[in-house]
Amino acid sequence: MTDDEIKNKLLSKKQELEELLAASADDAAPVELDQTQQGRLSRIDALQQQAMAAETRRRRQRALRLLEAALQRLDEGEYGYCVTCGEAIEAERLALDPGTPFCVGHAR
Q: Give dist(CA 73, CA 83) in Å, integer.
A: 10
Res 31 pLDDT > 60: no
**Contact between 13 and 69 (Cβ < 8 Å):** no
pLDDT value, residue 38: 59
Residue 30 has pLDDT above 90, yes or no: no
| pLDDT over 70 (residue 3) | yes
Using DSSP's 3-state secondary structure scheme, residue 81 falls into strand
**Cβ-Cβ contacts under 8 Å for 3 (sequence gap 6 or more):** 74, 79
* Residue 55 CB contacts under 8 Å (≥ 6 apart), including other chains: none
Higher pLDDT pick, 1 / 101: 101
pLDDT tens, 71-107? 999 999 999 999 999 999 999 999 999 999 999 999 9
